[in-house]
Amino acid sequence: MSGTQPDVAPGRLSAAEIERNFADLHPPLAKSEALNAADRCYFCYAAPCTSACPTGIDIPRFIQSIRSGDIEGAAHTILSENIMGGMCARVCPTEVLCEQACVRNVHEDKPVDIGRLQRHATDPFLASGTQLFERAEPSGRRIAVIGGGPAGLSCAHRLACLGHAVTIFSRDGKVGGLNEYGIAAYKTVDDFAQREVGYILAIGGIEVRTGVTLGGQLSLARLCRDYDAVFLAVGLAGVNRLGLNSEDLPGVIDAVQYIAELRQAPDKSRLPVGRRVVVIGGGMTAIDVAVQSKRLGAEDVAIVYRRGKEQMGASQFEQDLAQGDGVRIKHWARPTRVLGDTHVTGVEFECTRAGDGGKLEGTGQAFTLDADIVFKAIGQEISSDKLGAASAILRVVRGRIAVDANRKTSLDNVWAGGDCVAGGKDLTVTAVQDGKIAAQAIDKYLRFSG
Ligand SMILES: Cc1cc2nc3c(=O)[nH]c(=O)nc-3n(C[C@H](O)[C@H](O)[C@H](O)COP(=O)(O)OP(=O)(O)OC[C@H]3O[C@@H](n4cnc5c(N)ncnc54)[C@H](O)[C@@H]3O)c2cc1C
Ligand code: SF4
């Protein structure tokens, strides 16, 4: 294989085909469909769906509001717990969260369509820009939020509602974090991420400075001096390395970076894609890059994961989505060698199994997959250069910032949340919840610190 020309090209499908492939994954419900879906709710007391929602939305209550035609009431119930209820309605893996807990699953095979009902209730307010919350009187307190993703935005919005003045400092050109640069394009169509950011900022009292980084222009020590409190929400850095020779060969690509390019591409048909694509990993990023490659026209796409189906980070729904698109998923194999001289031509794998105590071990059997592009999607990390000098003063656990139940770090006036903290689930909805909890804790701290 080595020495052959890689087949990486744009325009494998027509613009019309690509538009069809990237259309809304879960299209909105029509009014009658929403009423039918709402009618299926049993309005359980101590509803298990609400307990299963990381932001604790009162789901039966908002569904009851939809049923009685009170869409504003429904939206208020949702957004008061989760200001990104619009995005979460599109991206939450509901099949392992609220909808998994729905009691309709017991006797029927189908939960109430909670995610799409949530979208039905919130979309009109995001579209019209009608604000459902008011800011409290100015408190005279200033808070720096570092990072403009779901955690940072949720924290900023709650703090602004409580009357505090917030400045968001963020690295990327656009605010929104992975909602803007990471989530699969077919989950958030029509520039929804930016429309939601606009809605959140319209509450007022939030200044945004982009193109600035902690570890670059910003120092945590300085921010702690200049602001009454700091919230760190910098997410994670690039994906982890495979730890193999030749993994820096052209054609071996960080899946998150490629997805960011795809999300920002004005015309997806001009994005180069490999004819044969190999994805290494088993989480949401692996599925997303595989599915999107296929939908851009890649002929053969294989995901290779070192353990079994049950251990994959991607939910069953995500795995079914990929396989429905013709993506092959190979379990129990790990990469041992990246092949190629001037460009990747394939990957050699060793088969694996769970040994004593579940420890992963190689079986000694090997196979090779040819590839024009190899995507690395084996999890992300937070790099110490991202935190700069802050990494020396913050307590960090297994590469992530340690926080308590209130999302407070080891430093006096510093809180943190979202993907950059230890122990999280790395979902949009949990980042939103972190931001909300931290904002409430910061507010309490500011009121009691005089
Ligand atoms: C490819 C992919 C697909 C995903 N799909 C889903 C999905 O379908 N559903 C779901 O629930 N979750 C999904 N996730 C996870 C979800 O996107 C994250 O859990 C969520 O975005 C975390 O929010 P955050 O605010 O912590 O971080 P991020 O969204 O990563 O935001 C971090 C922010 O910090 C800024 N920043 C970074 N470094 C610095 C610095 N040094 N200084 C200043 N600012 C900085 C960035 O510009 C950004 O604004 C996906 C993740 C990936 C990678
Ligand atoms: S935020 Fe997510 S988990 Fe919570 S109710 Fe909405 S869709 Fe379900």
pLDDT (mean) for 238-247: 84
Q: Is residue 78 a contact partner of residue 121, using CB atoms and an 8 Å limit?
A: yes
133/146 Cα distance (integer angstroms): 24
369/300 Cα distance (integer angstroms): 11
Token pair listed for 146: 């570092």
118 Cα–ligand 2 center, Å: 8
Token pair listed for 140: 């005279």
E strand or H helix at 223, and its extent?
Answer: helix 220-226
Whether residue 293 has pLDDT greater than 60: yes
Ligand nearest to the CA of 82: 2
- For ligand 1, atom 6, which residue shows the shortest CA distance? 183
With a 6 Å cutoff on the Cβ, whether 147 touches ligand 1 is yes
344 Cα–ligand 2 center, Å: 41
275/280 Cα distance (integer angstroms): 16
pLDDT (mean) for 247-273: 95
- For ligand 1, atom 14, which residue shows the shortest CA distance? 427
Instruction: Read off the pLDDT of residues 319-375 as tens digits, 9 standing for 90 and up.
Output: 999 999 999 999 999 999 999 999 999 999 999 999 998 899 999 999 999 999 999
Phi, psi at 337, each rounded to 5°: -155, 135
Strand partners, 143: 166, 229
49 Cα–ligand 1 center, Å: 25
111/96 Cα distance (integer angstroms): 11
Sign of CA dihedral 331, 335, 338, 339: negative
Name the pLDDT band for 2 (thresholds 50, 70, 90).
very low
Token pair listed for 138: 């100015």
pLDDT (mean) for 58-76: 98
Q: Which atom of ligand 2 is nearest to the CA of 85?
A: 1
239 Cα–ligand 2 center, Å: 27
- For ligand 1, atom 27, which residue shows the shortest CA distance? 235
Q: Is residue 347 a contact partner of residue 374, using CB atoms and an 8 Å limit?
A: yes
- For ligand 2, atom 1, which residue shows the shortest CA distance? 88
When the pLDDT of each residue in the chain is averaged and rounded to a whole number, the result is 94
365/346 Cα distance (integer angstroms): 17
With a 6 Å cutoff on the Cβ, whether 427 touches ligand 1 is yes
Whether residue 1 has pLDDT greater than 50: no
Token pair listed for 32: 């009658």
Strand, helix or coil at 302? strand
Beta-sheet pairing, 396-397 with 333-339? unpaired
With a 6 Å cutoff on the Cβ, whether 55 touches ligand 2 is yes
E strand or H helix at 224, and its extent?
Answer: helix 220-226
For a mutational test of ligand 1's pocket, the pick from 153, 183, 259, 264, i.e. the residue with the most ligand atoms closer than 8 A to its C-beta, is 183
- For ligand 1, atom 21, which residue shows the shortest CA distance? 178
The pTM score is 0.96
How deeply is 370 buried, as exposed, middle or buried, from its count of CB atoms within 10 A (0-12, 13-18, 19+)? middle
Q: Which atom of ligand 1 is nearest to the CA of 380?
A: 53
382 Cα–ligand 1 center, Å: 11
Instruction: Read off the pLDDT of residues 5-39 as tens digits, 9 standing for 90 and up.
Output: 799 999 999 999 999 999 999 999 999 999 999 99
368/440 Cα distance (integer angstroms): 53
Name the pLDDT band for 227 (thresholds 50, 70, 90).
very high
Strand, helix or coil at 231? strand
- One DSSP character per residue, 344-364 reads --EEEEEEEEE-GGG-EEEEE
For a mutational test of ligand 2's pocket, the pick from 44, 66, 82, 122, i.e. the residue with the most ligand atoms closer than 8 A to its C-beta, is 82
